Homo-oligomer: A and B are copies of this chain.
Amino acid sequence: MTFSTNHIHNFSHVQNPSFLQACMRQASDHTPVWLMRQAGRYLPEYRDTRAKAGSFMGLATNTDYATEVTLQPLARYKLDAAILFSDILTIPDAMGLGLSFALGEGPKFAHNVRDEAAVAKLAVPDMDKLRYVFDAVSSIRKALTQADGRGSVPLIGFSGSPWTLACYMVEGAGSDDYRHVKTLMYSRPDLMHRMLAINADSVALYLNTQIEAGAQAVMIFDSWGGVLADGAFQEFSLAYTKRVLAQLKRSHDGVVIPRIVFTKGGALWLDEMGGLDCDVLGLDWTANLAKARALVGGNAGTVGKALQGNIDPNVLFATPAVIQTEVTKVLNSFGQPHTDKTTTGATHIFNLGHGISQFTPPENVAILVDAVHAHSKAQRLAQK
Contact = CB atoms under 8 A, between A and B. Distances in A.
* Count of identical protomers in the assembly: 2
Given A231-B329, A315-B186, A322-B187, A359 B286 contact: no
Contact of A229 (B229, B230, B268, B312): B312
A289 B311 CA distance: 29
Nearest to A174: B176
A353 interface: yes
B314 A186 contact: yes
A56 interface: no
Contacts of A258: none
A178 B314 CA distance: 8
A335 interface: no
A322 B185 CA distance: 11
A318 B187 contact: yes
Nearest to A285: B229
* Of A228, A318, A333, A359, most B-chain CB atoms within 10 Å: A318
A287 interface: yes
B286 A233 contact: yes
Interface in A156-212: 176-179, 182-183, 186-187
Interface residues of A, number: 37
A29 interface: no
Contact of A187 (B226, B231, B288, B317): B317
A125 interface: no
A265 interface: yes
A123 B315 CA distance: 28
A232 B312 contact: yes
A177 B358 CA distance: 11
Given A267-B268, A287-B268, A317 B228 contact: no
Nearest to A189: B322
A226 B357 contact: no
A182 B231 CA distance: 32
Given A177-B357, A178-B314, A179-B314, A230 B186 contact: no
Given A286-B229, A329-B231, A353-B229, A183 B317 contact: yes
Contact of A286 (B268, B288, B312): B268
A60 to B, nearest CB: 23
A96 B359 CA distance: 30
Contacts of A230: 285-288, 333
Interface of A: 176-179, 182-183, 186-187, 226, 228-233, 265, 267-268, 285-288, 310-312, 314-315, 317-319, 322, 326, 329, 333, 353, 357, 359
18 contacts: A176-B176, A177-B314, A178-B314, A179-B357, A182-B312, A182-B315, A183-B318, A186-B317, A186-B322, A226-B286, A228-B286, A229-B285, A229-B286, A229-B312, A230-B287, A232-B312, A265-B286, A268-B286
The 9 closest A-B pairs by CB, nearest first: A182-B314, A229-B285, A186-B318, A183-B317, A230-B288, A229-B312, A187-B318, A186-B322, A267-B268
Given A179-B357, A187-B319, A267-B268, 12 more contacts: A177-B314, A179-B317, A179-B359, A182-B315, A183-B314, A186-B326, A229-B285, A229-B286, A230-B288, A231-B333, A232-B312, A268-B286
